[in-house]
């Protein structure tokens, strides 16, 4: 039995650092290229496993030829990859163009993975982290409905920060979703107002909003609001992996019996520590 089953894409994540975004027709130089494991579900599986949760990654097929390094990295970090087919012709790649101020733009190559294989397998976990990307939302909604047939299963949905209105419109009326996490570029008061309005039109029980260097807030439907702030100054902007580290830490704390307030602060602290590392743990 796994403590956590993370569902999402396994890709090469290529970070291209530039001074500023070029305008149409302009050429810009790339200052640095970094190669990481991606996307969020894969990162969550690594970080959760490093916190000693027994973790499985459910993901798309990849190529053994150019993707075995990813499987090896996951295995070295204790992640179970037995679901992942390595006989695909190639491994998908996501490119991130990141300017010096931390603004990012993405070019993603995403593959839906065989949901039939998920349905035919008895997934050995009661806690599921799921990436909800707009490109694959129909497949994910079917999967969510399937998992919620079992009332014992807890779902943690990562809506990230893109196309939020669309994604929220697709999940807000789905009953029994335990957690959603989304990222906003708002101050705490604005984020609180946003979440309170969202609560009035959704069945979701716990809404978590990450606010970059400000910390995060967690709202529990009909009960409390918990605001957790970073205890250390974080100067880095646009760092890949901080949000996924938050997710993994929050899930870990909840599974250890922590209150929502303590889980939220623990997750903020872990994400802050990740941002302050001299060497990114996700580099390959």
* Per-residue model confidence as pLDDT tens digits over 179-201: 999 998 888 889 888 888 887 77
pLDDT of 24 over the 90 cut: no
218: how many CB neighbours lie within 10 A of its CB?
24
Angle at 50 between CA 44 and CA 51, to 5 degrees: 90
> What pLDDT band is residue 68 in, cutting at 50, 70 and 90?
very high
CB 47 within 8 A of CB 248: yes
Task: Report CA-CA distances (Å) from 217 to 36, 61, 77, 210.
Answer: 28, 35, 29, 7
Q: What is the pLDDT of residues 227-238, one digit of tens each?
A: 888 888 776 665
Average the pLDDT over 95-99 and give the result.
Answer: 89
> What pLDDT band is residue 83 in, cutting at 50, 70 and 90?
very high
| pLDDT value, residue 67 | 95
- Closest to 108 measured CA to CA, from 153, 158, 162, 67: 162
- Between these two residues, 249 and 120, which has the higher pLDDT value? 249
* Kind plus residue range of the DSSP H or E element containing 194: helix 188-199
- Domains and their CATH numbers in the chain: 4-9+39-90+112-275 (3.40.1190.20)
Q: What is the pLDDT of residues 30-51, one digit of tens each?
A: 999 999 999 999 999 999 999 9
pTM score: 0.93
| pLDDT value, residue 158 | 95
> What pLDDT band is residue 65 in, cutting at 50, 70 and 90?
very high
């Amino acid at each position: 039995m796994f403590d956590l089953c993370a569902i999402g894409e396994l890709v090469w994540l290529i970070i291209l650092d530039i001074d500023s975004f070029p305008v149409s027709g302009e050429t810009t130089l790339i200052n640095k290229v970094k190669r990481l494991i991606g996307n969020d579900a894969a990162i969550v599986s690594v970080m959760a496993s490093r916190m000693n949760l027994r973790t499985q990654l459910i993901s798309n097929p990849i190529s053994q030829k150019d993707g075995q390094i990813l499987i090896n990295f996951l295995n070295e970090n204790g992640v179970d990859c037995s679901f992942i087919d390595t006989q695909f012709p190639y491994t998908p790649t996501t490119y991130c163009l990141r300017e010096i101020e931390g603004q990012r733009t993405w070019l993603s190559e995403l593959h839906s993975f065989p949901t039939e294989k998920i349905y035919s397998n008895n997934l050995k976990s009661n806690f599921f982290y799921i990436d909800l990307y707009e490109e694959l939302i129909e497949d994910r909604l079917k999967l969510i409905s399937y998992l919620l047939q079992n009332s014992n299963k807890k779902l943690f949905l990562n809506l990230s920060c893109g196309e939020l209105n669309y994604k929220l419109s697709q999940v807000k009326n789905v009953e029994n979703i335990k957690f959603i996490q989304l990222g906003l570029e708002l101050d705490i008061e604005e984020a609180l107002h946003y979440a309170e309005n969202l609560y009035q039109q959704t069945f979701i029980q716990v809404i978590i909003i990450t606010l970059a260097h400000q910390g995060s807030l967690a709202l529990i439907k009909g009960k409390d609001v918990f605001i957790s702030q970073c205890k250390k100054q974080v100067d880095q902007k646009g760092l890949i992996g901080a949000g996924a580290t938050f997710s993994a830490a929050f899930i870990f704390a909840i599974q250890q019996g922590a209150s929502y307030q303590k889980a939220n602060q623990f997750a903020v602290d872990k994400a802050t520590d990740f941002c302050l590392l001299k060497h990114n743990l996700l580099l390959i």
